[in-house]
Amino acid sequence: MAPTIRAMMDALYLFCVVVAGTALVLISAVIPWAVYTRYVLNRAASWPEPTAVLLMIVLTFFGAAACYRVGMHMRMSFFVSLLPAHLQRLCALVVELLMALVALFMAVWGASLVATTWQNSVADFPALSVGLTYLPIPVGGAILLLFVAERLAIGAPAPPLSAIAEAISTSG
């Protein structure tokens, strides 16, 4: 059962990385276009800035879930590392439970936000629903909740290969 869960979470992680990476690449293309149209053509395009903001929402929530899964998120562990092993394990459990609470909050209240704003349209893109632009919040929260459940049920996944390669290169 654990290998099946791990494989499904690996696929979900890959999905998050692809979505977040695509959003980052698109932001990196849109912003220079905005600068080009404003300063070279002297006619600023109206769509790049709101597009970059919408892509940033996607990047933030899918990227955060992916980073959490592989332990690349920002964390403070200095004082916890000074504790005895049994208290370190307890702190790790408390952190996972708090992360589950945050993820649940994002999923539930994010879904409420999406439902409340679904009929509104984005001013710069009248055909685009505001609720649709907020959809990464509950989806990212649900994915994060799945990643927390994975850690609690079968443990953290192995670190990505780049982290392993970096650890090897710095140790020698």
Kindly report the pTM of this predicted structure. 0.86
Q: Count Cβ atoms within 10 A of the Cβ of residue 42 and give its class: 0-12 exposed, 13-18 middle, 19 or more buried.
A: exposed
Structure tokens at 172: 């020698």
Indicate the pLDDT class of residue 80, thresholds 50, 70 and 90: confident
Q: Is the pLDDT of residue 146 over 90?
A: yes
> What is the average per-residue pLDDT within 54-75?
92
pLDDT recorded at residue 164: 54
Indicate the pLDDT class of residue 15, thresholds 50, 70 and 90: very high
Mean pLDDT lowest for which of 1-5, 14-18, 108-112? Answer: 1-5
Do 61 and 142 touch, CB atoms closer than 8 A? no
Indicate the pLDDT class of residue 1, thresholds 50, 70 and 90: confident
Q: Is the pLDDT of residue 74 over 60?
A: yes
Handedness of CA 5, 8, 14, 20 (dihedral sign): negative
Long-range contacts formed by 108-111: CB under 8 A, 24+ apart: 108/138, 108/141, 110/134, 110/137, 110/138, 110/139, 110/140, 110/141, 111/138
Q: b or e along 151-164 (b: 16 or more beta carbons within 10 Å of the residue's beta carbon)?
A: beeeeebeeeeeee
Amino acid at 110: G
- Reported as a single tens digit per residue, the pLDDT across 24-47 is 999 999 999 999 999 999 998 889
> What is the average per-residue pLDDT within 103-124?
95
Do 157 and 10 touch, CB atoms closer than 8 A? yes
pLDDT recorded at residue 137: 97
Q: Is the pLDDT of residue 98 over 80?
A: yes
**pLDDT averaged over every residue in the chain:** 90
